[in-house]
Amino acid sequence: METQKKLRETATLPHALESFQDIVTDIGGKRPVLFFDYDGTLTPIVEDPDAAELTATSKKVIQQLSDQFTLAIISGRGLADLKSKVGLQGLIYAGSHGFEISGPNGLEMQFEPGKKILPILDEVESKLKKRIETIDGCEVERKKYAIAVHYRRVKADQVVDVENAVEEVLVGEQRLKIGKGKKILELKPDLDWHKGHALNWLLDELDLAAAQNHPIFIGDDITDEDALEALSGTGILVGSHGQKTYADYRLKDTGEVYRFLEELGNWDKGNP
């Protein structure tokens, strides 16, 4: 019987690098299956989302890992944007929090109920852009299945204006909901589908049975908690998002993420 996960304070989590042998023990004789968020996990958070690029060294690490393990990136970014940013073959890409998925060997999925919401997102996007025109530093980014409102560059006393604008354009619209992240608000379909569902869908679709495989998810933001809660494996939180977490371990930043990944890759090479 599966034990219900509990929320914990980030500061109380064991450090994933210091506890690497414990993680290896948890993996046992199974094959790791790796899942990552993108922004704040594989790349540092930056003011301009378009500037969140992988370094050549980062790409090399990810590409090498994808040769060893099944590897998926599950991001709030739209699928096309995510694939363009990463630019590597042989990976599974899940964009828009898992509403659209693409991978090797013809793997393709669009969450069907989400398609009905696209015209609504178009209408709300137009209203929102007009509504936030006067708020300096606020940016509206349209993804296929979501609208991101970035306020990292908005003055602190105007953040409430951003929040009010988002709430106002959704008055009477019950098919969308507001999601919160690090200096971002997202308007997305109010449907029972998120990163956790996408993760488990991939495990089922690729026949990665729990008896032979051990999922590892690494993420940094509030939206990653859906995956951390749904995960039957090892969850790692990068940094802190200011709330309690379902993660099992923590890492300080993206630099430590790559140190952990290199250790995992080296461990696997030594355990054929």
- Give the residue numbers marked as catalytic: 37
Inter-residue contact 33 to 214 (CB < 8 Å): yes
Inter-residue contact 221 to 40 (CB < 8 Å): yes
**Residue 181 pairs with which residues in a beta bridge?**
184
Residue whose C-alpha is closest to residue 50's, from 134, 139, 125: 139
Report DSSP letters for 202-241, one per residue: HHHHTT--TTTEEEEEEE-SGGGHHHHHH-SSEEEEES--
Residue 267, H or E segment: helix 254-269
CA distance 114 to 230: 21
